[in-house]
Amino acid sequence: MIYNEYRVKFYINSQTGKKPALDYIKLLDEKTRQKVNKYIEFLRENKGYLNEPYSRHIRGKIRELRVDFNNGYHRIFYFSFLEKKIILLNAFLKNTNKTPVKQISIAENNYQDTINNPQLYE
């Protein structure tokens, strides 16, 4: 195991035990899932920080990974955490020009849940 590398983890909801970002990715078709996973690996290799158009700052420590594909604009909210971890908070298919306030709110709640319960990722 290489300890100096960043690792990608999925947030686990403290109330439901669900992993919103992972659940979203699992529902994608194979080609889209491969592209999303490729972007996640690119994010990991770049230590949790990518410039636009790959990533964009949302609010506070939360950023969005931007995966545009022929079937839509997939967004994954994430933040970099202690011990070189990148925590994927939630994901959604973007249908509007602006990022929906509801999705940002979900990401902020998931972020706070992680900060308050640091065991909530895997």
Task: Please say whether the beta carbons of 38 and 52 come within 8 A.
Answer: no
Task: Please say whether the beta carbons of 39 and 45 come within 8 A.
Answer: no
What is the reported pLDDT for 90? Answer: 97
**Percentage of the chain modeled with pLDDT above 90:** 75
What is the reported pLDDT for 76? Answer: 98
Separation CA 19–CA 10 (nearest Å):
6
**Percentage of the chain modeled with pLDDT above 70:** 94
Q: Find the helix packing angle between 30-45 and 20-27, rounded to 10°.
A: 140
Model pLDDT for residues 52-74, shown as the tens digit of each residue: 999 999 999 999 999 998 778 99
Residue 122: pLDDT over 80: no
**Whole-model pTM?**
0.91
For residue 51, give the DSSP letter.
Answer: -
Which tokens belong to 95?
Answer: 């249908």
- CATH 1.10.420.10 correct for 7-116: no
What is the reported pLDDT for 22? Answer: 97
Compute the average pLDDT of residues 41-60: 93
Model pLDDT for residues 108-119, shown as the tens digit of each residue: 999 999 988 877
